[in-house]
């Protein structure tokens, strides 16, 4: 871990980055600006509503977070040297990098994405994420934000997505396939949250996720000027449609339903990892935050307990080296669309899935690396034609390491498909003030 870690200013950092509040209701609003004054006015209206990572006296009823695309920074008339200080991944955006940098193929490519929001044509300038504990509170905040935006000339709403936790309170961390989601999350040095990371995993250098702070190698990447770059991060927005009926039918036809599902995922539905619970689900283990994420694959190199191509093993191979720790992601997200009860009639045409938000200080080194080198690499860890069995793109197989002979499932159907996405910069509160006042000023305002 890098020395010289600085304490993070939680009053200046957007709360989504550090706190990871997971409210059961969310709406993602996407905007396009006609000119710089419109963009600045929109940002100015959101400085106070944006939720920071500061300590709460009491949990708020709703939270707000803001992200900007590179085209938005161009509209804001940032100086050329400031625009050039942003990395190529963010400047180019997801649509331009989907094939070569993410490994997407076929129907996952931008030509097949949903037309709204217009991500494929880079028609989105900003995202406002509203989160709430109650659907009524969320609807009230939506009315407020719609009225405010409508009153600003040159601000157009170009898309809106809604997401909500599934099921009852004790099942609200499940996704549509029925598995617990969001268990594995890094904790940052200097965040003040290290004591809550009772998982046996070492806290990671703040600069791996928050710009303007040392990363694991001691580097301090940051767009310029400092008032703009420091305490921000990058968010990858990715809409993933889940084909639940296809998934269930595949498991039923296999004859190994629940066990095969766990082998594909790498965890049981409760969240208990196969490495620690190889024979059957263990809800007690899954509920224990000191154990459910405290493992690696050192004692399972062949993959007899957790297959080498299982989703969680590919998404996070759990290397403890500095090199391995440089590809971590903070994962935020919620399901969207109606849940499908077990045994319910086939409604495969229903649109349901996951709105994923992946936070990182380097999209290329973190999110894109994970997608290209782990999720979509057909030869990951010595396998062949084994892209991620759950979220991998295109044609793929799955190998289940077992004695005396491995199981081999060829030509898996698509369980998840990409419906859109974009790269956003999540500015600090200081940066929001700077941008909303005058994007051409070289000094903090």
| Burial class, 403, CB count within 10 angstroms (exposed 0-12 / middle 13-18 / buried 19+) | exposed
pLDDT recorded at residue 164: 96
pLDDT recorded at residue 323: 72
> Among 14, 19, 26, 18, which residue's Cα sits nearest to residue 333?
26
Which structure tokens are listed for 172?
Answer: 């609200």
pLDDT recorded at residue 118: 98
- pLDDT by residue, tens only, the chain of 445 residues: 444 456 899 999 999 999 878 899 999 999 999 999 999 999 999 999 999 999 988 999 999 999 999 999 999 999 999 999 999 999 999 999 999 999 999 999 999 999 999 999 999 999 999 999 999 999 999 999 999 999 999 999 999 999 999 976 556 589 999 999 888 788 888 777 665 544 456 789 999 999 999 999 999 999 999 999 999 999 999 999 999 999 999 999 998 889 999 999 999 999 999 999 999 999 999 999 889 988 999 999 999 999 999 999 999 998 767 777 899 999 999 999 999 988 887 888 899 999 999 999 999 999 999 999 999 999 999 999 999 999 999 999 999 999 999 999 999 999 999 999 999 999 999 999 999 986 444 344 3
Which structure tokens are listed for 432?
Answer: 């929001």
pLDDT recorded at residue 171: 60
Structure pTM?
A: 0.94
pLDDT recorded at residue 443: 42
């Amino acid at each position: 871990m890098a020395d010289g870690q600085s304490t993070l200013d939680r009053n200046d950092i957007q709360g989504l980055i550090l706190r990871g509040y997971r409210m059961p209701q969310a709406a993602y609003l996407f905007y396009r600006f006609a000119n710089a004054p419109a963009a600045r006015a929109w940002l100015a209206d959101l400085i106070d509503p944006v939720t920071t990572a500061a300590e709460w006296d009491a949990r708020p009823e709703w939270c707000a977070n803001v992200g900007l695309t590179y085209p938005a920074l161009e509209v804001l008339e940032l100086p050329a040297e400031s625009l050039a200080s942003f990395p190529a991944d963010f400047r180019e955006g997801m649509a331009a990098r989907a094939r070569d940098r993410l490994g997407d193929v076929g129907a996952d490519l931008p030509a097949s994405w949903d037309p709204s929001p217009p991500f494929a044509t880079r028609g989105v300038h900003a995202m406002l994420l509203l989160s709430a504990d109650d659907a009524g509170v969320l609807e009230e905040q939506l009315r407020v934000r719609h009225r405010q935006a409508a009153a600003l000339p040159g601000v157009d709403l170009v898309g809106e997505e809604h997401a909500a936790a599934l099921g009852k309170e004790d099942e609200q961390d499940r996704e549509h396939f029925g598995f617990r989601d969001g268990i594995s999350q890094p904790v940052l040095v200097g965040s003040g949250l290290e004591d809550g990371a009772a998982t046996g995993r070492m806290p990671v250098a703040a600069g791996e996720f928050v710009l303007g702070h040392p990363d694991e190698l001691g580097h301090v990447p940051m767009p310029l000027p400092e008032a703009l770059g420091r305490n921000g991060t990058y968010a990858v927005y990715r809409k993933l449609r889940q084909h639940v009926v296809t998934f269930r039918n595949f498991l039923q036809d296999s004859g190994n339903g629940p066990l095969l599902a766990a082998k594909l995922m790498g965890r049981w539905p409760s969240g208990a990892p196969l490495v620690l619970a190889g024979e059957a689900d263990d809800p007690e283990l899954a509920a224990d935050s000191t154990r459910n994420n405290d493992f690696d694959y050192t004692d399972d190199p062949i993959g007899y307990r957790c297959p080498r191509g299982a989703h969680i093993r590919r998404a996070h191979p759990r290397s403890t080296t500095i090199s391995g720790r440089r590809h971590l992601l903070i994962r935020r997200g919620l399901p969207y669309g109606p849940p499908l009860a077990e045994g319910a009639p086939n409604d495969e045409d229903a649109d349901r899935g996951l709105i994923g938000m992946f936070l990182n200080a380097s999209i290329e080194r973190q999110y894109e690396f994970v997608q290209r080198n782990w999720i979509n690499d057909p030869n990951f860890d010595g396998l062949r034609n084994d892209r991620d069995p759950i979220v991998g793109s295109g044609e793929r197989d799955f190998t289940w390491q077992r004695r005396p002979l491995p199981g081999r499932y060829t030509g898996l159907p698509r369980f998840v498909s990409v419906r859109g996405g974009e790269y956003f910069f999540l500015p600090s509160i200081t940066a929001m003030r700077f941008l909303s006042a005058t994007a051409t000023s070289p000094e903090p305002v």
